[in-house]
Structure 1
Amino acid sequence: MNSISVIIPVYQTESQTKAAIQSVLDQKVSIPVEIIVVFDGPSPYIDELRSLYPTCTILEQAHQGTYAARRRGLEVATGDYVTFLDSDDILAPRALYTYIKAYEKSRGEVIIGKVSPVYNKKKWLMPIDDDRYFFYTRTKFNSRHLTTIHGWMIKKDLLSDLPVLETRWFADTIIAHTIIAKLTNLTSVSYVVYGRNSRSTPLEGQSLYQARDITTLTDISRIYGMLSAHTMDNTVQKFLNTWYKRFISKRGRALLERSTSKSQQADVFRHVAYDLRRTKTRSKYLQAWSTGSYFMFRSYITAVKTKRTLRTARRKKIKNGLMLYRLFQKMPVKENLVLFESFLGRSYSDNPKALYLKLKEQRPELELVWIFSKEPSDDVKEACPNWVLKNSFAYYQAMARAKYWIFNTRQPLSLKKREETIYLQTWHGTPLKRLGLDMEEVHMAGTNATRYKRNFYNQAQEWNYLISPNAYSSEIFKSAFGFQNTMLETGYPRNDLLYADDQAGLISEIKARLDIPADKKVVLYAPTWRDDEFIARGKYRFDLQLDLNEMQARLGDDYVVLLRMHYLIAQNMDISGHEGFAYDVSSYGDIAELYLISDVLITDYSSVFFDYAHLQRPMIFFTYDLEKYASTLRGFYFDFEAVVPGPLLKETDQVIDYIEQIDTKSVAYQEKYDRFLERFCSLDDGTASERVLAELFPSTAQSTMEDETTETE
Structure 2
Amino acid sequence: MSSSESPARSGNPVLSIIVPVYGVEGYVRQCLESILDTSVAALEVIAVDDSSPDNCGAILDEMAAADSRLRVRHLDRNVGLGQARNIGLDMAAGDYVWFFDSDDHATDGAVRAVLDRLKAARPDVLIVGHERELWDGTRVPNSGGRYFRDPPAPDTFTCAERPSVLRIMMAVWNKVIRREYLLELGPRFSEGYYEDLNVSFPLLMAAERLSLLDRVCYVYRQRRSGGITSSASRRHFDAFDQYERVFAFMDARPGTEPFRGLMFDRVIGHALMILERGDRISPPDRAEFFGRLTDFYRRRRPAGSRVPGGRLKTVKYRLIDRGAYGPYRAAVALVEARRRARTLPQAAVRSARRGGRVGRRLLGRLYYRVQLRMPIEENLVVYAAYWYRGVSCNPAAIYEKAAEIAPHLGGVWVIKPGGPGPVPDGVDHVTPGTLRYWRVMARAKYFVNNVTFPNAVVKRAGQVHVMTQHGTPLKKMGLDQMPFPVGAKGLDFRAQLARADRWDFLVSSNPLSSEAWRRGFPCRYEMLEIGYPRNDRLAVATLDERARLRTRLGVPEGKKAVLYAPTHREYRDGYRPMFDVERFTRELGDQYVLLLRPHYYYPAARNGQHQELVMDVSAHASVEDLCIASDVLLTDYSSIMFDYAVLEDRPIVVLANDWETYRLTRGVNFDVTASPPGVVARTEDELIGAFRTGAPWSDTAAKARDAFRARFCPWDDGHAAQRAVTRVFLGGD
TM-score (structure 2 length as normaliser): 0.49
The structure number with the bigger radius of gyration is: 1
